[in-house]
Structure 1
Amino acid sequence: MEERIRTMICRFVEESPAGRFPENGDPYFDEPLVGYASADDPLFGDYKQIIGEFHRTPHEVMEIGFGTGVRAATVISWILPITQPTRESNRRETLYPSAAWARTRNFGEQFNAALRRHVTEWLAEQGHHAVAPQLETTWREYADTPIGRASTWSERHAAYAAGLGTFSLNDALITPRGIAHRCGSVITDLLLEPSPRPYPDHYHNCLYYREKSCGACIGRCPVGAISPQGHNKDICSHYVYGTAVTAVAERFGVTHTGCGLCQTKVPCEGSIPVGSAKAGRARP
């Protein structure tokens, strides 16, 4: 069943017209990565301390969707890698995102929502309960929390639990297909085999944390939101949701522009950076 679900997700991404630029038919995303986490994984409880009490566990999301009679079993998580032409266009930018990047952030995320609906509907057809946390009616995003902008469900933290990548200096997720991506998830009562987490800690794929090198994302940020101390969410959010939108959204025909400068023209853009030979051997 794990392979059937992966194939179903990949086929939808490959075949759906909504996943392509309308003017030329080029895709927003390359072939997805798919992973699975147990709904009982202690990490989801830990996230209430790491992110905040407002962050929900898979069981809480399932209960909101279906009541106490349905128990969550698995979190299905996926990574949608942004295509190389779009990444290349964003490498050339130094202040605002490229048109292709902004449109992928806007329309590609709309497609990601369609994928969430597709996965839940497919699982229902197989006789299983399923809910997409970000499509659930009480999902909320908060602009002001002790850790900055955060929501009741983090797709990146779900992907980490499902073995798809680790975090970085700029707070993004470095996966085997790199850091330039969108991610999504669905919770189901279908019991699936959890994916292994092939890393010793939650920062392992980032060269800055793994071997105290790199830091390329620091120089890519146009507003200084990234430093050796990490990612300032307040500065970043003000730029991404305010300044950038005001500057280029209307010109690009979108309502959400994103930025992504720190996710392009960096060693982790399209893969896990190897780093030194010693660091490479350290990966399990």
Structure 2
Amino acid sequence: MEKKIKKLIIDFVRDYPKEKELRSMWQEPLVKFSDAEDEMYLKLKEVVSPTHALPKELLPGAKTVIAYFIPFKEYIIQSNIEGKLSSWGWAEAYAETNSLINSLNTHINKELEKLNYRSNILPATHNFDEDILLSDWSHRHVAYISGLGKFGLNNMLITEKGCCGRLGSIVTNLNIEPSTRNNEEYCLYKTSGTCKNCVKQCVNDALKDQFFDRFKCYDMLLENAEIHKEVGLADACGKCCVNLPCSTKVPIRSGF
């Protein structure tokens, strides 16, 4: 069943641009799984928010959390290197990927129903409290628990295909063997105290070595959303993800 779910996700992402008459913006996704009763989910009420949901609060009888990373193609990443504002291409990719994730989760839900399993359809984003900017379901932390990658200094998840892309997840009562979590760090700063390019590239002075001002970051996201409103809701920035050793790969395995 693990292979079937992975193929389902990979095929959907591959075919989506043609079906929606979009430019192809995505590489093949990465897919991992975690046990819905993994004790790390309890820790998210401390690490993320006291209101962070447990899998079984989203779906009674939950067995598995499916987490996936959809990497952007290189031209999307390159488009966002210059300037203070996010590029049109990055904003478009952000908005379109959110729509893709919502459609993908609906598709997974329907396919699981055919097999007499249930799932909870989770939105790609905007499931957070705007006053405190904390989420009740963090796709990044869920992806970490599921073994998709490790957090970098930029607070993004560094996967085998880097950190430039979008994360999604879905909770199901289908029982799938959990993926293995790698114990090694992927971020150069965390392994050797070097790099810190993500901090240097933060255009609104929100990211520091030891501190992240989520409100300053959100101000920048809203500025970009206003500039790029023709592509949909694109409250994105991405400057701390692009032009980095970890943008498209795990840097500690690439000789950096």
Q: Same fold (TM over 0.5)?
A: yes
Equivalent in the alignment of 1:192: 176
AA paired with 2:100? F
Kindly report which structure 2 residues correspond to 1:112-261, keeping only aligned pairs within 5 A, or say none. Answer: 112-134=101-123, 140-145=127-132, 149-200=133-184, 204-241=185-222, 243-246=223-226, 248-250=227-229, 252-261=230-239
| Aligned equivalent of 2:77, options 69, 84, 87 | 87
TM-score, with structure 1 as normaliser:
0.85
- Where structure 2 has 5 or more consecutive residues not aligned to the other structure, the ranges are none
Q: Which amino acid aligns with 1:249?
A: H
2:43 is equivalent to residue 46 of structure 1: yes
- 5 Å-filtered alignment, 1:21-60, equals 22=21, 25-60=22-57
What is the DSSP-based 3-state SS (H/G/I as helix, E as strand, rest coil) of the residue aligned with 2:191?
A: helix
Over aligned residue pairs, what C-alpha RMSD do you find?
A: 1.9
Aligned-pair identity (%): 29
Q: Is the 8 A contact 1:170 1:230 kept in 2?
A: no
**Aligned counterpart in structure 2 of residue 98 of structure 1, from 87, 108, 111:** 87
Residue-by-residue CA offset, 1:103-151 (whole Å, 9 max, x unaligned): 011122111111111111111111101112338xxx9411233xxx221
1:67 aligns to what?
none
1:263 aligned onto 2:241: yes
Identify the residue that residue 12 of structure 1 maps to in structure 2.
12
- Which 4+ residue blocks in structure 1 deviate beyond 3 angstroms? 17-20
Aligned letter for 1:118? H
Q: Give the alignment partner of residue 68 of structure 2, picking from 55, 78, 82.
A: 78
Larger radius of gyration: 1
The gaps in structure 1 that reach 5 residues or longer are 64-70
- 2:95 partner letter: N
Q: TM-score, normalised by structure 2?
A: 0.93
Question: Equivalent residue of 1:36, what SS?
Answer: strand
